[in-house]
Each structure stands twice: as structure tokens, then as C-alpha cells.
A and B are shown apart, each in its own frame.
Chain A
Amino acid sequence: MNIVVLVKQVPDSGADRNLRTDDNTVDRGSANNVINEMDEYAIEEALKIKEAHGGEVTVLTMGPDRATESIRKALSMGPDKAVHVVDDALHGSCAVATSKVLAAALGQLNADLVLCGSESTDGRVQVMPHMIAERLGMAALTGARKLTVDGSTLTVERQTEEGYEVVTATTPAVVSVWDTINEPRYPSFKGIMAAKKKPVQTLSLGDLGVAPAEVGFEGATSAVLEHTKRPPRSGGAKITDEGDGGVKLVEFLATEKFV
């Protein structure tokens, strides 16, 4: 099975994150940039499928030059190769344009299965799997907590608010995963060394047949007008329990009219 995993480099969600003051895009320059955590689960799932059914795993990333670090990190887990879509004109692209670029790249890769995380920790927009599926006329099975592959049949179990659903489709399809699906492996030393030699193909917009005017700020379908830091919360009263902590807590709730 030819599997492509979408990997996004994001600013570390454990550190302070900002939007740039000059153009309102995510500040990636000063951030500690890492693989979007949910994507590691997608990589793991791809590797497990390859181990069970054979095939090839390709990492696909759209991002600036520095995304190479995340691509190597992803490869160190075990994928065979990577494709990096990199072009200065992409800076400022909206989700709609991003899906156009990724769909164009996927069109060249002939994937049977496109795996990705359910959302990225920076945007948390959750739209990419369905946008790509819509463009490519494929099924999208989103939010998988379990994925079973039987020949060309994919079956996914997905959490819903009322319980869970079992959803099925045949390949080619896009499947997005939650962090409940598996436990991603840590790259081994051997894996890290091997990753340095794995092929990483770079593709420009020209290679994909996408015009620069369709992406970036020029092609964006939405715009950030302004942004402000939300004032940080400040802690209020903190008491140490002296046998009446529960009562004191409820007294506070009563003054706030919750009780």
C-alpha cells in the first residue's frame, strides 16, 4: 500500500506562541518548531500498516526551509522518503489554498492512503482532511481511534459525542487520526542515522502547476485584521485546607452564584 502521511511543522505548543506583528501570520522564526504532535500518531499508524501489509510510506510537508528539521525527525521514525513543498510564494496561505497545494502534490504521489493528524496544535482548524478529500474526490474518514485495513477496504472507528461510529471506505482515501489510536515509537539511533540519507524531494509551485497568485496573501480567502494578546489570568485567593476547605470552596461558589 502506498501511504502518504501529511506532516506539519508547528511552533511548540508547550512554549509561548505568537502571531507576527508585521503580517499577522504565525511567528515561526522565533519559535521552537516541532512536528505537530498528532501527526506522529499518523506516522506510527502508517508504519504499522506497512509492517503488516507491505508498501511504502512517504512524508509530505508544505512549509518553509526550516521544516526540513521536522521532515528528518519524521523520517527517523521509519518512513521511506519525503516530499517537501517549499516556495516563498506560499507564505500567508489560507486553509483553502493550502488544501489546493497539498491536493496537487498528492495528485503526483498516487497515494492509496493519505494519513494525517486530526488537527494541528497551532491552528486547530480541523478542515484539511475533508478539503483534500473534496478536491481529490476521495473518501475522508476522520477522527479515527482505530483503523483496520483489509485489502482495499478501510474501516475506522471514530468517537462521537453520543458514542462511536464505525465507518468504511475503499482506497484511495484520507484518514485522520486522534492520539488514542496508537503509541508512537521513539526514533532509534539507527533510525536517526538512516534518516539523514533518505531521499527528500522538494517541489515548488511551478512543479505542481499551481500559480503563485492562487496562494499566499494574494490568493488568501480570509485575512487576519488584527490580533492582541489576551491578558493573562491572574490567580485569585488560594487557601490551605485546615479542615474546612470544602466548605470554604462552596462559600466561594455561593458568592459567585453557582450554588
Chain B
Amino acid sequence: MSEVLVVVEATREFGVKKVTLEMLTLARELGTPSAVVLGGPGAAEALSAKLGEYGAEKIYAAESEEIDGYLVAPKATVVAELVSRVQPAAVLLASSQEGKEIAARLAVKLDNGILTDVVGLAADGTATQVAFAGSAIVKSKVTRGLPLVTVRPNSVNPTPAAATPSVEQLTVAVTDTDKLARVVERVAEQKGSRPELTEAGVVVSGGRGVGNADNFKLVEELADLLGGAVGASRAAVDSGYYPHQFQVGQTGKTVSPQLYVALGISGAIQHRAGMQTSKTIVAVNKDGEAPIFELADFGVVGDLFKIVPQAADEVRKRK
């Protein structure tokens, strides 16, 4: 079977991201998965055990300060060279900002079609995409070149399938035009132990109804009890209650968790665009006419400042 390249997405703190494991699971259906690690010196070693656990038969490691020190262009050059050499059956990347950007440059370099936000990929290359904020399901195909797709987190249930990957070091030969956008500083921000928003199985979000930044502790408390990530509506972010990187909606993150809990969120289309493909939706809002209740599998009309602490206590009791 031919190789399927999976471009690994990982974080310094938590290692291989869940979406990478989803891509490896998907790749096994299409061929033999090979993981491509792009990072600074030593990046692959820390990730290889996990990648093998989910079926990577081979790991291509491109490790260089040049990979780490510039925005995506050097990564795209390395992957394009690899694709031309091994002629894989498909190339999978995460549908994150970086994954899409590497894919964008690959598409131009290889004069190859690209499909983003893919939630399923059949052996014949037919991809399933969710469009218009989850209101349409689209089947599409790359018609020039190989299937070059970015996979949306929480699309596939990642399942282990142990393999012992061989490791091949790639030569990183980048051009001067790959080094035009230089990263001068990376600042880590306090994030705690919560799962990453787009990958979380549970997301608890707060909206304007939360009232102020301090009250977001209630949202965080329930999120922590449910092992989830914290999100916020645009109204809450614009009001300064919570940082922008946690915004769920049309101009923020798109999430598709098993459980979405909306607290004090009216459910404007801007917000629904980012969360309506969640499996189960629960809402608390004081306005019984709020559109969020049209989506909610279970809704409570009432004061979130009474309901949420009570719910938190009840979860604690049941633990």
C-alpha cells in the first residue's frame, strides 16, 4: 500500500495533539501512515512513541532551527520536497491555522488542489466537508494532484494500532524566500491544564450573561469539573470578560465537542456558527426565548448564578 503522509501537529507542553492521532487513524484506512515531524532539533524523539502507538510505520523528521525560527514557509518547502520524492497517496494536515497555511503553500508549489475542514475521507479521495457554519454537508474531491486535505479536530475517533516506526532524518534545505517572516519572540501564556479548545471533548462557554470577567470563574469551575475547555462568545470577549483566543464562533474557533455547555449565551448566528455541530448541547439562559434553546438538547431557563453553582455541587457529589 502506498504511503499517506500525516503532518504532525504537536505542542511543546502536551506533545502530539489529538488531531494528529485522528489523522493517523484516518490514514490507516487509506494506506500506510508516515508521520512528518517538523520542528527544532530533537523534535521527533519526544513524539515518536505516541506516533508509533497510533500506527505510524515511518517518521520523517525535519529538525532545524530554520524550521522553528520562521513562519510556515520552510515547513512547506520540506514537505513539498518529500511529496515529490515519495509520491504519497494523500497528504493530511490539521485544519488549524498552521496546518492550513502549510497546505496553502504546498498547493501552490505542487499546483495541487486543496480541501480544508475535512471531517471524513474515503479511500477514493472523496472528502466530506462541513460548510456554512455547519448548515451544509459537502462532498468534494481534489481533481488535480493528490488528495491534500486539512482535517478538522474531533472528526474521527482516534484508535491505537501499534507500529514500530523507522525514522528518517530529512535534509532541511530552505531558500532565502522561505526565511522572510522571522519569529523574534514566542510568549507562552498561562493556560493551565485544560484541554485545547478545538480538541476538547467537552466545552463550557460563557456569554454576555456571565456579566463580568470575575464571574468567568463559574464557567471555569464547571469546565474543570467536566474535564473540559473554556470558551466564550464574541459578546463576552468584546466586553473584555475573557481573552480572544477562547472565542467560539464565526470570527473565532469552530468546535465540535461531544458536549457543549452554553452559559448566558443567547445563541446569535455568530456564535452558532462555531458550535452547532457539537454532539450534545446544553444551555442555561435567563431568557426563555433565546435562540440557543432551539439548538439545545437540554435547556434550563433561569439565573445562571444560581444554576451553575448548584450544578457544580451536584457534579462533585456524584464523583
Contact = CB atoms under 8 A, between A and B. Distances in A.
Contacts of A128: 104
A249 B299 CA distance: 8
Contact of B302 (A13, A38, A235, A240): A240
B245 A161 contact: yes
Contacts of A239: 299-301
Contacts, number: 280
A221 B142 contact: yes
Contacts of A130: 72-73, 76, 101, 104-105
B295 A235 contact: yes
A177 to B, nearest CB: 11
Main secondary structure of the interface of B (DSSP, over half): mixed
Contact of A96 (B108, B131, B186): B108
Contacts of B109: 134
Interface string B284-319: 100010000111111111110011111111110010
A190 interface: no
Interface centre among B71, B281, B284 (most CB of A within 10 A): B71
A104 to B, nearest CB: 13
B75 to A, nearest CB: 11
B188 A246 contact: no
Nearest to B135: A230
B140 A225 contact: yes
Contact of B307 (A94, A166, A246): A246
A76 interface: no
Interface string A210-226: 00000000001111111
A19 B140 CA distance: 13
A203 interface: no
Given A130-B72, A250-B314, A223 B282 contact: no
Interface in B211-228: 226
B189 A167 contact: no
B130 interface: yes
Contacts of B300: 238-241, 245-246, 248-249
B65 interface: no
* Residue among B131, B184, B270 with max Cβ neighbours from chain A (10 Å): B131
Contacts of A29: none
B307 A221 contact: no
A141 B270 CA distance: 26
A18 interface: yes
Interface stretch (A63-71, A82-90, A251-259): A251-259
B86 interface: no
B160 interface: no
B295 A17 contact: no
B138 A19 contact: yes
B296 A238 contact: yes
> Which 10 pairs between the two chains have the least Cβ-Cβ distance?
A246-B310, A241-B302, A221-B113, A139-B180, A127-B104, A222-B113, A246-B311, A163-B189, A236-B297, A250-B314
22 contacts: A16-B135, A19-B138, A24-B138, A126-B97, A127-B100, A127-B114, A131-B105, A135-B108, A139-B181, A140-B71, A163-B188, A164-B189, A165-B185, A221-B114, A223-B141, A224-B139, A229-B137, A233-B281, A236-B297, A240-B288, A245-B306, A246-B308
Given A37-B251, A130-B101, A247-B310, 6 more contacts: A137-B177, A140-B101, A162-B189, A162-B191, A230-B277, A258-B258
